[in-house]
Structure 1
Amino acid sequence: MAVEIQNFEDLKLNRQILNAIEELGFTNPTEIQRKAIPIALAGHDLLGIAQTGTGKTLAFATPLIMKAKYAQGEHPRALVLAPTRELVIQISNHFTSLAKYTDLRVVTLYGGLGPKLQLEALEQGVDIIISTPGRFLDLYKKGAIYPRGIKTLILDEADKMMDMGFMPQIRNILELIPVKRQNMLFSATMHDKVVTLTEEFLEFPERVEVAPQATVAETIDQVLYEVPNFRTKLNLLTHFLEDDSFERVIVFVKTKTIADNIAHYLDRKSLGQVRVIHANKGQNSRINAMDEFKEGHIRVLVSTDVTARGMDVSMVSHVVNFDVPLIYEDYVHRIGRTGRAQNEGMAITFANKLEMQHIPRIEHLIKEKIAQKNIPDQVTVEKTPFGEEQEMDKAIDDMRKRADPSFKGAFHEKKQKFRDKPGGAKRGRGRKKRR
């Protein structure tokens, strides 16, 4: 009969790790930790399916630290791959904290800054590398990494890696490291590309699924507002930020330009300290903004999806989806920034009539209905500019045409009606011929 795991001591972890876990304030293991750690310690390949915020980093970090034990040699014995620099930094911080009573050397590799310091760290010897796929390959090509000693490979956020097109780089890395090794793959969802990766990557894996795929934590209250246009979205966001209960807010948007514009707008409104992070921001700027936000010095963080999975902040009161994400899994990861560590949080989504077309698909993915509310009476609803209206109508038509090729479209009909108006369509046709 299997022993029921109630605390970290039951997981047979060594005293160094237990002391580090205790100092981090963790008392009892989460479900993914209870299930995954014994499998990893036994040396089996592991497929872990868990939503964000479930404690999966500790689930793979502790057995890897146990296995590596102490500093040994000059070359890496384990490799952890993650899709973004933010997530790499977050994982590295966890490893550093958990391994504080060991002499293991953890080196973090990511792009966005020169490789000099990373090369120097590798030259001093390394046991565990935590890296983005691209930077690992770049430094390997420079001769800075000897990969033949790697015995453990972990892929975190595998679904995001596939969405970001990392499959070729991962295949290249698999060719560089020994075939005989332990593999662990963690993902929030199991779409087709991830299934393909697991078939190539894992050998008879033990599967651990702690929640249905793409479910949302029960501590998150979700609400949806249908908002006609960009300007009204700004008015609604301002209305919410005038409420003091919006203490620490992340606003997710779809483009870098929109992020910058919203941050400037909120700055002018004097609604609290605002910072923006996206791919065009320098690495130090992004790290500093995250640190200030975690410490509570910044009230509003405006971000593109680059940080949706790489952000570990336990006290985010609200997440606002200013734009609806077109990769539906990103909805789960965005709103997973709130309601963490058993704290309650709220996720608010603004959707214009085009974005409302995507809401039923998101609801299908998360297997629940998002409560819809009316725009508060105090919020000014702006008239939608002609260009914005036309762009939405055309995009809706394009979506319907893809679903039904015989559909001609409302946008097509509107143009036809305009042509039928006197002087509308035939403008220019009645000109006199030149003599």
Structure 2
Amino acid sequence: MPFKKLHPTIQEKLENLEITSPTEIQKKGIPVIKSGANVYCTAPKDGGKTTALILTTLQKLKFEPVGTAPRTIVLVENKEKALEMYDAFVKYTRYTDLRVYVGYEQLHIDTQRSEIFEGVDVLISTPITLNKLFLLNGVNTSQLKMLSIDDAEFLKQKKSYTALMSISQSIEKCQFVLYSEKIDPTLKKFESYFMQYAKKVSI
């Protein structure tokens, strides 16, 4: 059972949330993501992809705040999705020392930059906002271990796609995990760039 092999604090949080058994995508996907490979995770809507993203992110960080530079980044489509993702993370990180920060287009970029500099472990953002931060040297990627993208179908939008391609070129080394309902041609194209040798987990 994937949950049994996760960090004790995660198991405790799952118990508090009364989540007792993994969904199919969590059962198949979590062990592959934990291996450190780049992964395409595909499953139907409400299949448990977002929870898999949160659990594997927290597993990677082991609930320990380290330094000031983000060690994991989570990309989403827009402000609404960013705030939803933040709320979902807080269910697991409340009463811990992990620092989760959320940014989006409507929040002033200088505000985001100064707040991120104070220290974050998980950075939730949109590709467009994150790319702006990169261009302003507002995010240090030297400690980055993992970049996950939730409901990645939105990358069909040209601005988001272009921003992600720019971001990927600024990152020297990290694990990329894309979550979607299916691998469409846009997402498949990433295999030629930052998703090389990616494993595919599908339900």
State the TM-score, normalized to the length of structure 1: 0.44
Residue pair 2:145, 2:174 contacting (<8 A) in 1 also: yes
SS in 1 for 2:193: helix
Residue pair 2:75, 2:150 contacting (<8 A) in 1 also: yes
Separation in 2, partners of 1:171, 1:90: 24
How far did residue 114 of structure 1 move? 2.6
Counterpart pick for 1:92 among 86, 90, 101:
86
1:346-399 CA-partner distances (Å, limit 9, x unpaired): xxxxxxxxxxxxxxxxxxxxxxxxxxxxxxxxxxxxxxxxxxxxxxxxxxxxxx
Paired residues for 1:383-402 under 5 Å: none
Alignment-mate amino acid for residue 39 of structure 1:
V
Match of 2:44 in 1: 51
Separation in 1, partners of 2:12, 2:100: 19
1:381-429 CA-partner distances (Å, limit 9, x unpaired): xxxxxxxxxxxxxxxxxxxxxxxxxxxxxxxxxxxxxxxxxxxxxxxxx
Counterpart pick for 2:147 among 153, 160, 163:
153
Q: Does 1:190 align with 2:183?
A: yes
Residue pair 2:128, 2:159 contacting (<8 A) in 1 also: no
Counterpart pick for 1:33 among 1, 19, 26:
26
Counterpart pick for 2:73 among 68, 75, 79:
79
How far did residue 117 of structure 1 move? 4.5
Paired residues for 1:313-328 under 5 Å: none
Match of 2:197 in 1: 204
Separation in 2, partners of 1:115, 1:21: 35
Alignment-mate amino acid for residue 159 of structure 1:
E
Match of 1:18 in 2: 11
Counterpart pick for 1:181 among 148, 157, 174:
174
Separation in 2, partners of 1:203, 1:101: 37
Between Structure 1 and Structure 2, the one with more helix by share is: 2
Separation in 1, partners of 2:53, 2:65: 19
Residue pair 1:107, 1:118 contacting (<8 A) in 2 also: no
Structure having the higher Rg: 1
SS in 1 for 2:6: coil
SS in 1 for 2:74: strand
Separation in 1, partners of 2:56, 2:77: 22
Separation in 1, partners of 2:127, 2:93: 23
Alignment-mate amino acid for residue 3 of structure 2:
F
Paired residues for 1:77-156 under 5 Å: 77-115=71-109, 117-156=111-150
State the TM-score, normalized to the length of structure 2: 0.90
Residue pair 1:17, 1:101 contacting (<8 A) in 2 also: no
Identity %: 29
Paired residues for 1:132-281 under 5 Å: 132-163=126-157, 165-178=159-172, 180-210=173-203
1:224-255 CA-partner distances (Å, limit 9, x unpaired): xxxxxxxxxxxxxxxxxxxxxxxxxxxxxxxx
Residue pair 1:75, 1:149 contacting (<8 A) in 2 also: yes
Give 5+ residue unaligned stretches, structure 2: none
Separation in 2, partners of 1:17, 1:108: 21
Alignment-mate amino acid for residue 126 of structure 1:
V
Match of 1:60 in 2: 53
Structure 1 pair 106/124, CA: closer, same or farther in 2 (3 Å)?
Answer: same
Residue pair 1:45, 1:204 contacting (<8 A) in 2 also: yes
Structure 1 pair 114/86, CA: closer, same or farther in 2 (3 Å)?
Answer: same
1:328-359 CA-partner distances (Å, limit 9, x unpaired): xxxxxxxxxxxxxxxxxxxxxxxxxxxxxxxx
How far did residue 148 of structure 1 move? 2.7
Number of matched pairs = 202
Separation in 1, partners of 2:44, 2:79: 20
SS in 2 for 1:201: coil
How far did residue 65 of structure 1 move? 1.0
Separation in 2, partners of 1:148, 1:199: 23
Does 1 or 2 have the higher relative contact order (CA < 8 Å, sep 6+)? 2
Q: Does 1:8 align with 2:7?
A: no
Residue pair 1:16, 1:101 contacting (<8 A) in 2 also: no
Aligned-residue CA RMSD in angstroms? 1.9
Alignment-mate amino acid for residue 199 of structure 1:
S
How far did residue 164 of structure 1 move? 5.2
